[in-house]
Each structure stands twice: as structure tokens, then as C-alpha cells.
Amino acid sequence: MRRIILVFPFLLLVVISLNSCEKSSGTAFEHATMRPWFDKNCKSCHGSGGGNSGAWSYNPDNYETSIKKHISHLYQDVYVNKSMPPAGLTQAELDQFKTWYDAGYPAK
């Protein structure tokens, strides 16, 4: 009984610290060309508070969940179907996207 009383707060502490770790473990998206590219072309609609963040949420604070996890979808919409952004991109912007994608869509 005594042992349970000692172990329980310890486990609680482990759970709490694991949780807070998870929240701060996202890699920031800081690519010199593509961070401004996404900010310019996608953020107004898909950033936090943007009207269409439900369809895809652009969050440069978490590269893994926002970019990496959705990369095949992003590639389809931006480069294959050219459906995003709705206003379209210049050839130079499409090339920038493709170069970054082919390089393994790095975060930095």
C-alpha cells in the first residue's frame, strides 16, 4: 500500500512531463525560401484564424504535423492539379516549390 502511494505521484509526474515534451517537440519550419513562400501564398486562408484552416492547417511552428504529414497532398494540390492557391502561382513560384520538394522538403 505504501509503495503505491509513493509510485503514483511519480507516475503522474512522468505523464505530465511527457505531455509537455510532446507539445514543444514540433520542429519550426524555417526554410529560407519556402517559409516566406507559404506565408505569402497559403497563410491568409490556411493559417490560424484563416477561414480554411479546417481543410488544411498551415502552422509553421510545427513542421511535422503541418507540412511533412501532408506533403503528398500539398504536392498534388500545388504542383500536379495546381488547385492551390486558388489565385494560382507564377512559374517561378512553382519552380521554387518543385525544387524544395525534390530536395526532400526540408524544414530548414
Q: Which residues bind ligand HEC (CB under 6 A)?
A: 41-42, 44-46, 52, 55-56, 73-74, 77-78, 84-86
Q: Is the peptide bond before 106 cis (omega within 30 degrees of 0)?
A: no
Q: Which is nearer to ligand HEC, 27 or 52 (CB)?
A: 52
Q: Which three cell numbers stand for residue 44?
A: 491568409
Q: Which three cell numbers stand for residue 60?
A: 509553421
Q: Which is nearer to ligand HEC, 27 or 39 (CB)?
A: 39
* C-alpha to C-alpha distance for 13 and 56, rounded to whole angstroms: 34
Q: Which is nearer to ligand HEC, 27 or 44 (CB)?
A: 44
